Amino acid sequence: MATDVHRPVTTTKSPSAQPGSAVRVEGLTRSFDGRAVIDRLDLDVKPGEFVALLGRSGCGKSTLLRILAGLDRDIEGTVLVPRRKAVAFQAPRLMPWKRVWRNVLLGLPGKPERPVAERALAEVGLEHRTNAWPKTLSGGEAQRASLARALVREPDLLLLDEPFGALDALTRIKAQRLVDELWQRRGCAGLLVTHDVEEAVLLADRVLVMDEGVIAYETEIDLERPRGISDPRFAELRGELLHRLGVEAPDAPSPAAAA
């Protein structure tokens, strides 16, 4: 897998440069106005691993994702990421003056033809809106178009920043299933920033909690796929993560009852 290296800026093309890792972050610090939002953070993501990142608002999740995406290079420390990566944000960010298929191809190198976009749109169930204008899409459709735009890049790393945050509950469940399917089919590594603990436990191999500028807690999600929220182990993981986020689940046993 080819890699981009941010600081020290010695780009390597050798896949063996980072055996066993799709992402390697060492001692990463990012400060704004003298305040370290990310403070000597370390993180490894394995090839094909899907990781969810939780943390209170303002703790630096989007900052970390933007750094991994190569959108922010004003950093200290070392960040190794695959060269082929794609990002989807909470707002689909489609260009209103370009038809859906042209949006999907936007920024791709070379001169990709329409069928390339059509294939990606079919993968997200949007083949019937290929020629539509973005403003005529529903919120869920726009988000799927945004996913198609990410997939068409054939990423080795898919970065998602609250991609379902603006969707209604039903559309959100469908979009989560779609991401689960796509990730399993594509086999790329993924980092999903979310506020939704259930979403994290449903989708991820590993869930991280960010706090005070570092990964303060992490847990493997040892549940078979497809996962169901009715599984007692699911509730246990959810409760532990909520606890780590400083929220007690309403159905959590009291310390006295658990003793």
Q: Which chain residues interact with ligand ATP by CB under 6 A? A: 32, 37, 55, 57-63
Instruction: State the nearest-atom distance from the C-beta of 68 to ligand ATP, in Å.
Output: 12
- Of 223, 186, 217, the C-alpha closest to 205 is 223
In terms of DSSP bridges, do strands 157-161 and 189-193 run parallel, antiparallel, or are they unpaired? parallel
**60: partner contacted, choices Mg ion, ligand ATP, none (Cβ within 5-8 A by kind):** ligand ATP
- Of 195, 194, 183, 201, the C-alpha closest to 239 is 201
Instruction: State the nearest-atom distance from the C-beta of 195 to Mg ion, in Å.
Output: 9
**55: partner contacted, choices Mg ion, ligand ATP, none (Cβ within 5-8 A by kind):** ligand ATP
Spatial contact of 45 and 191, defined as CB atoms under 8 Å apart: yes
- Nearer of residues 71 and 95 to ligand ATP, judged by Cβ: 71
Tokens at 243, concatenated:
């606890």
**239: partner contacted, choices ligand ATP, Mg ion, none (Cβ within 5-8 A by kind):** none
**163: partner contacted, choices ligand ATP, Mg ion, none (Cβ within 5-8 A by kind):** none
The number of residues making up the chain comes to: 259
- Nearer of residues 55 and 239 to ligand ATP, judged by Cβ: 55
Instruction: State the nearest-atom distance from the C-beta of 233 to Mg ion, in Å.
Output: 29
- Computed from CA positions of residues 117, 152, 86, 180, in that sequence, does the dihedral angle turn out positive or negative? positive
- Nearer of residues 121 and 207 to Mg ion, judged by Cβ: 207
Structural Rg of the chain based on CA atoms: 19
- Nearer of residues 62 and 219 to ligand ATP, judged by Cβ: 62
Site residues (CB under 5 A) for Mg ion, limited to 44-83: 62
DSSP for 213-249? Answer: TEEEEEEE---PSSP-TTSHHHHHHHHHHHHHTT---
Residue found under tokens 């990012």: 30
- Nearer of residues 59 and 202 to Mg ion, judged by Cβ: 59
Residue nearest to Mg ion (CB): 62
Spatial contact of 80 and 18, defined as CB atoms under 8 Å apart: yes
Q: What are the residues binding Mg ion (CB under 5 A)? A: 62
